Structure formats: C-alpha cells, structure tokens
C-alpha cells in the first residue's frame, strides 16, 4: 500500500512538472513572479529596516501566484486543465482547483511607486524617493523597487486645546498620557491611534456624539533638524451635540424581539416597569430580575462606552439570545439625555442532538462513542441552562496495561447552570463584562473491561465559574464528590494483582469528598500577536479535610463517612507557558509544569484518578504515555507481557519547542522534552520511586522534530521523537545520546516514537 501511494505521488509530481508555469502566457507578455524592494534609510536600526522593507514589499500589487513549498501548484493545475470553454468538467476543475497566471501587463509601476512613497511619508520619511525597474527573462518578469527613505522626522512638541470648555478640558486631561511622545518618529498610524484613544476616553466621560474626525492634528515641520511640532485642535465644524456630556434617561428592553417584524419600541401596551427598567415581554418568556442582574446602565448615570459594551457582552454571555442589538436616542432635542433600547432575539429554548465520534484518551484507549443530548436554555425563565447527556461507547487499548482489551462504557450526566452566584444569604451583581455561573453536576458511568473488571463511578459537584476579563478566568467547586466502586474482578486480573500489586490501585474503591479551585491566565485568548505572551493555569485540590474533622477513626484502619473510607490529600499544580515570537513566522514555545500532592490520613498515595503521569504525545514525546517513572523505577512486564500505567504524587516537566513556518499553513517543529513523576511516600513495591533531593538527575529527556498543518480551524500534528536520557539506568549511564543509531532498524524499533495528534502539545 505504501509503495502504491509513493508511485501515485511520484506520478502526480511528474504530471504537474510537465505543465510549464508559462505554458499559456499570451504573446508579448510574461508571468509576474513578484517584487523586491531595495531600501536605504538613515539612522534606522537593522530590525526596523527589515520590518519597513517587508511592509513595502507587502504593499506592491498585484500579488504573484500562490506557492506551496516554492511550487505554484494552483497555477500548474490551471495549466493542466486549461480550456477556453466556459462550461464542462474541465472548465469547472480549472476554475475550482486552479489559479490563472498573474501577468506582468497587470502591474502598474506608477501606482506602486506612488503607494510606496506615500507609505514612507506616512512613516516620517518626508524626503523619500522611489524608482522601479522591471526584469523580463524567459516569459517571466519581476520588478525591483529602489526606495531612498532619507532622514526620518521626529516629534519635537505636542500641544492640546487650551480653552476652558468642558470638551477641551477633558481632551487636555486625556492628553497627559498621549501616544505622541517627544523624540519619537513621526507616524501617521500613531496619529490616528491617538485620535482613536482620545475618542474612546471621551466616550467614557459621556461625550456620546463625539467622533475621532472632530480632532484635527496640525503638523509643522522644520528642514534643519528634521523635527515636527504638532497641535491638536477641534475642527470648527464640530457639532454642538458632540461637545455635551450625556446621561442615561430610560432603558427599554424587548426580550422577545423578532427581526421579521417591524420595530415596536414606541408601543406602550404590555410594557412593565421593574426596578428602573421598562420591559416589554407580553408572553412572560423571561423573569424581569434576569435583566436587573445583567444590565450595566441605570437611569441617571453618565453614559460611558464600558457599560455600553458590558451590557451587550453580558446579554450574549447568557447564551439564550441569538441576536442582541441596541440603539441610543436623545430623550428630547434640547436635553443631554439618552433613551436606550435593547432588541433581543431568543434562541430556541429546547434542542435535541445526537453525536457519533471517535476519541483518543491519555491512557491509550482509542474507540468510538454515541451520545444523545437534550438542552433547555431557559429552564426556569431566568436563562438557566440544563444539559442532559447519555452515551455508550467502546474502547480498545493498543499499548500499556492489558493491550487489545475491549472496554464498554455507558453513562449519563446532568449539568445545570444558573447565570449568577447562588450563595446563601448573599446576592452578588457581576462587575465584569461576563456573566458568572453557578454549576451543579451529577453523573454516572459504568466501565466494563471485558474479562477483567467493572467500575461504577458516580460524580457530582457544586461550583462557580466566572471571568474577570477575556484572558482571566476562575473556577471554584467547594463541593466535588467522586465515588468509584469495582465489581466483577476476574480471576485473571486477581492473579495479575498478586504478581504485580501496583495494578490494585486501578480497582480501588475511591471516595473523594473535597474542593477544587482553578485559575487561568491566557493572553493568547485576546487574539493579539504580541512578541511575548503568557499562559498560566493553577489548580488547588483538597479532599477529606472537613470530613476528617467531623469523623473519627474506626479501629486501626481509617476514618469513614457513610461507612466508606474517604481519600485525604492536598494537591497543587502549576502549568506555565511562555510564547516568544521570533520574526514574522516563527514562534518559540516553552512550558513548565510543577505538580505536588501530599497524601495523609487515610491515603498513602493520591487516588489513582488524581495522580500525575508523564509521557505521551502532549508530554515527553519520546516515551509512551504513562511509561516514565516514578523516579528511577521501571515497570516490570506482567506474566502476559503487559506494562502497568505509571502514576505518581509529584510531577516536574519542562518542554521547549521552536515552530518555524515552512510554507503557507505548514509549520515545522524542533523540540526537547524533560520530566518525571515521583511518589510522596515510600513504596517497597517500587524502589527508587520516592521524591528526593537528587530529583534533577532522575529526569527523563527526549528530543525530536515534527510538522504541523495549521489551517486555523484545527491543527494536525505529526512528531517523531527519541530518548536522550533514561532515568531507570544506572546513574552514570542515563545519557544515551551516544547510543543513537538512526540507521539501525533494531534501535529505531526500541527508541523512535511516532505521535499523530490534533492540536499543539502546548
């Protein structure tokens, strides 16, 4: 099969190569292959010159035919299916798969020269000059633009309006933190940004009808020292309403609005006044208190853009309205007051869905799942969300413990979400633009591993989720309960437990009664391409603390609640990531994971489902999932050749990866991963597994390379990795770089690990 694919790819390349890129170029014309810019600029750093040159080259038009790995595949396909007919299969393939040649005759040199010169002047190079020269060779043409930027002008002084009017006084106060700094280069984009900044801050002070165009920036340049003086003044034609501060008058809400019928915001019928808001909802689809908790505007307050956007964001965040829009209208011609109208189009309340899918789990289970779900978006008429889901699925484990064992899963879950904090004796109104939620969860799963054991799992929780900003979120579950009970443990599995007691943890009865808190800072959620961006996730998890105070030890074994021993532990985990942008198309990504669990009381180790593991396609990619550690311990295969999954109470992991862009959506990767797990307490069955002061010498390490196909919607990732350090070897022999033999099949089969996954590893 592989050979057939190779032949097919080779044949395709031969066919495309036979189609010359210039095959259908008209006479006296040529294929345009692009433009380059030769730039000279005084007193400009090398990095600034590179950026300026890249910007200039990006402005030239037209753009040449697209290329992938340097080959114009779409143009070659256009030539392959070339036809003068407008209809038919060949014509359709030519239009849909191909791209017509970009001709040299379509290049307007004068227009490009003017465009480049204007750009340089907008960047402060007032005495710039641009020339162009085209080169034709073998039916191909390119253009070289020579740009002499000259000296760049700098800002000498900036002044703001000085009269005593309310608007001028506000602008002068805002100008104290201007973007236009003395000594900085003149930049038209920066001037536009300053006007936009002033407008945004004036909107926060109630100047609703003000526009950035009402500000005029006057510039005086000097020839001798290449400096400019700037004066920001109000345009004479600025309308009177733009100079006034506006207040909120009445707020009108239409929560059952339809886009298909005429607006009815002047109708008085069925309008209800509730705690400062006029609500028109004749069918009582929503309780009025929902909008009191959601709206940021109140009667009598000064208009500001923050509350304007906050109200719209909160309404959308309720997840019950398909469309939300608003408008502002002067309450009277001679009054500085605004009436606010909100038009809200609801989503369908009830939704039924069915899903069929495949999934890959971190414990090497691969399989399929069928689920049926029901969602009610407005359960008690205050935007409560109830989501009910039932599923069945099967899995097969291809590596790790008991490979090729079929697993059958079935279960269900109920999630009930309330769009506010529900806390006894307290009532909170959100301050951010996002709606906080109170979540109640209940779930059950039966997992049957054929011929081995059955696990019945119950889980439930009461928690709160809220966001301070798009990049900062919190999740706090004061009550989180998990109960897992094994059944039908087979003789086969019992015999394996005798030979390898570490397998017992998988079928332990687990009762976890605790609390969790999670903090997430994700600067990439803003969608900005900063030079440095950070991600931090912190998790705190505690179990059995309150229960331990309320119960007493029974006999010599453990404390119990409802007749069951419960887990007692403290666990914290930090996942920090730093992304550094190198140039325009390369990213350097780094991650550090630190996890620490402290079992005590009833627990000698963390519960199995709470323990850490390492290895796998999102971890140390040179080792299989859950195959590293703990410490220097190496799992011994069972009597049937199975290797148990390895877990621990403490984790340290470090990753670094360089992600250069190869071409188009194709990216490469070079990476090094390191880490391990350890136990907090001694386990005689796992010598070398306990955490100690020599932990850095016990790190596993791997290196590798990969490719990523990033088409924005999802990323397909393929990595090849190999170990360079094995912690289970003798202390002086753990580095295995000198043993690498890529040419030896036996070495490759024992060391090279292939990882195919969706999404980036971090």
Mean pLDDT per 10-residue segment, the chain (762 residues):
46 50 86 92 81 90 86 88 86 87 92 94 91 91 92 91 89 92 92 94 96 92 83 92 95 88 60 92 92 92 95 94 93 91 94 77 60 95 95 67 67 95 78 91 90 89 93 94 88 78 77 93 81 94 76 62 81 96 88 94 85 90 88 74 76 96 88 95 88 92 93 86 94 90 88 87 90
The Cα 575–Cα 652 span in angstroms is 10
Buried b (16+ CB within 10 A) or exposed e, 465-479: bbbeeebbbebebee
Q: Is 596 exposed, middle or buried (0-12, 13-18, 19+ CB in 10 A)?
A: middle
Q: What CATH number should be reported for the domain whose range is 247-346?
A: 3.10.20.310
CA distance 155 to 471: 35
Q: In which residue are the tokens 């309780």 written?
A: 287
Half-sphere exposure of 403 (CA within 13 A, CB side): 12
- CA–CA separation, 717 and 710 (whole Å): 9
Location of each CATH 3.10.20.310 domain in the chain = 15-150, 154-243, 247-346
pLDDT at position 19 is: 52
User: Angle 305-317/188-203 helices, nearest 10 degrees?
Assistant: 80
Question: What is the Cα gyration radius of the chain?
Answer: 33
How far, in Å, CA of 762 to CA of 657, rounded? Answer: 9
Which pLDDT score, from 0 to 100, does residue 223 have?
Answer: 62
Alpha helices in 223-361 (DSSP H): 289-294, 305-317
Per-residue pLDDT, 579: 94
**CATH homologous superfamily of 154-243:** membrane protein fhac (3.10.20.310)
pLDDT value of residue 548: 65
Query: What is the DSSP secondary structure assignment for residue 162, as one 8-state letter?
Result: -
Question: What CATH number should be reported for the domain whose range is 15-150?
Answer: 3.10.20.310
Q: Nearest-CA neighbor of 434 among 464, 463, 477?
A: 464
By residue count, the chain amounts to: 762
- Fill in the DSSP letter of residue 631: T
Those residues with Cβ within 8 angstroms of residue 87's Cβ, 6 or more apart along the chain or in another chain: none
DSSP E strands, 44-139: 129-137
Instruction: Look at the block and give the residue holding tokens 């109200």.
Output: 311
Q: Give me the pLDDT at residue 642, please.
A: 55
């Amino acid at each position: 099969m592989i050979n057939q694919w190779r032949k097919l790819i080779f044949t395709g390349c031969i066919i495309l190569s036979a189609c010359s890129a210039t095959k259908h170029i008209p006479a006296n014309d040529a294929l345009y292959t692009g433009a380059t810019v030769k730039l000279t600029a005084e007193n400009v750093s090398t990095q600034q010159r590179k950026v300026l040159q890249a910007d200039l080259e990006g402005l030239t038009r037209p753009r040449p035919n697209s290329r992938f790995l340097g080959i114009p595949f779409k143009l070659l396909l256009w030539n392959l299916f070339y036809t003068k007919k407008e209809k038919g299969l060949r014509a359709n393939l030519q239009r849909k798969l191909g791209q017509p040649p970009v001709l040299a005759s379509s290049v307007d040199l004068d227009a490009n020269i003017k465009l480049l010169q204007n750009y340089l002047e907008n960047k402060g190079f007032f005495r710039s000059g641009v020339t162009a020269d085209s080169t034709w060779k073998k039916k191909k043409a390119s253009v070289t633009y020579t740009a002499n930027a000259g000296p760049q002008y700098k800002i000498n002084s900036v002044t703001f309006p000085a009269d005593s009017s309310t608007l001028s006084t506000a602008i002068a106060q805002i100008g104290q933190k201007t973007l236009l700094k003395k000594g900085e280069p003149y930049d038209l984009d920066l001037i536009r940004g300053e006007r936009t900044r002033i407008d945004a801050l004036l909107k926060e002070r109630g100047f609703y009808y003000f526009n950035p165009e009402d500000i005029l920036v006057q510039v005086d340049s000097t020839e001798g020292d290449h400096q400019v003086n700037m004066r920001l003044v109000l345009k004479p034609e600025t309308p009177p309403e733009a100079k006034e501060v506006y207040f909120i008058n009445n707020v009108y809400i239409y929560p059952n609005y339809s886009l298909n019928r005429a607006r009815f915001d002047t109708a008085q019928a069925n309008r209800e006044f509730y705690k400062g808001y006029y609500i028109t909802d004749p069918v009582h689809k929503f309780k009025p208190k929902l909008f009191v908790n959601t709206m940021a505007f109140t009667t009598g307050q000064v208009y500001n853009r923050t509350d304007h956007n906050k109200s719209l964001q909160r309404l959308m965040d309720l997840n019950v309205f398909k469309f939300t829009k608003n408008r502002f209208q002067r309450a009277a011609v001679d009054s500085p007051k605004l009436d606010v109208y909100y038009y809200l189009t609801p989503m369908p309340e009830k939704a039924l869905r069915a899903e069929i899918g495949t999934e890959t789990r971190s414990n090497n289970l691969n399989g399929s799942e069928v689920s049926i779900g029901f969602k009610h978006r407005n359960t008690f008429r205050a935007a409560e969300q109830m989501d009910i889901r039932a599923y069945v699925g099967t899995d097969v484990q291809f590596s790790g413990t008991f490979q090729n064992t079929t697993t059958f899963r079935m279960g269900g879950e109920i999630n009930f979400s309330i769009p506010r904090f529900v806390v006894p004796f307290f009532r909170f109104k959100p301050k951010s633009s996002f709606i906080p939620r109170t979540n109640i969860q209940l779930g059950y799963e039966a997992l049957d591993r054929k011929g081995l054991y059955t696990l019945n799992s119950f889980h439930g929780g009461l928690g709160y989720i809220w966001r301070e900003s798009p990049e900062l979120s919190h999740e706090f579950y004061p009550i989180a309960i998990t109960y897992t009970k094994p059944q039908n443990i087979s003789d086969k599995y019992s015999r394996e437990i005798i030979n390898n007691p570490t397998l017992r943890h998988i079928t332990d009865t687990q009762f976890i009664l605790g609390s969790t808190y999670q903090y997430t800072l994700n600067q990439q959620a803003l969608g900005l391409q900063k030079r440095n961006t950070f991600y931090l996730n912190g998790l705190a998890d505690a179990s059995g603390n309150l229960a331990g105070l309320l119960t007493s030890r029974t006999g010599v074994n453990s404390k119990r609640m409802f007749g069951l021993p419960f887990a007692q532990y403290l666990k914290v985990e930090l996942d920090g990531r730093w992304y550094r942008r190198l140039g325009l198309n390369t990213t350097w990504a780094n991650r550090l994971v630190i996890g620490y669990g402290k079992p005590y009381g009833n627990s000698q180790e963390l519960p199995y489902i709470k323990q850490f593991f390492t290895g796998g396609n999102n971890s140390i990619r040179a080792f299989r999932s859950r195959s590293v550690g703990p410490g220097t311990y190496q799992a011994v295969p069972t009597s049937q050749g199975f290797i148990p999954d390895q877990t621990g109470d403490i984790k340290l992991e470090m990753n670094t990866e360089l992600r250069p862009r190869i071409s188009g959506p194709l990216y490469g990767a070079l990476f090094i991963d390191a880490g391990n797990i350890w136990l907090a307490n001694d386990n005689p069955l796992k010598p070398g597994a306990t955490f100690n002061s020599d932990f850095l010498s016990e790190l596993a390490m791997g290196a590798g390379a990969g490719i990523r196909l990033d088409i924005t919607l999802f990323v397909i990732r393929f990595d090849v990795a190999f170990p360079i350090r094995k912690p289970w070897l003798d202390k002086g022999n753990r580095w295995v770089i000198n043993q690498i033999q890529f040419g030896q099949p036996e070495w490759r089969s024992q060391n090279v690990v292939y990882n195919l996954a969706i999404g980036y590893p971090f």
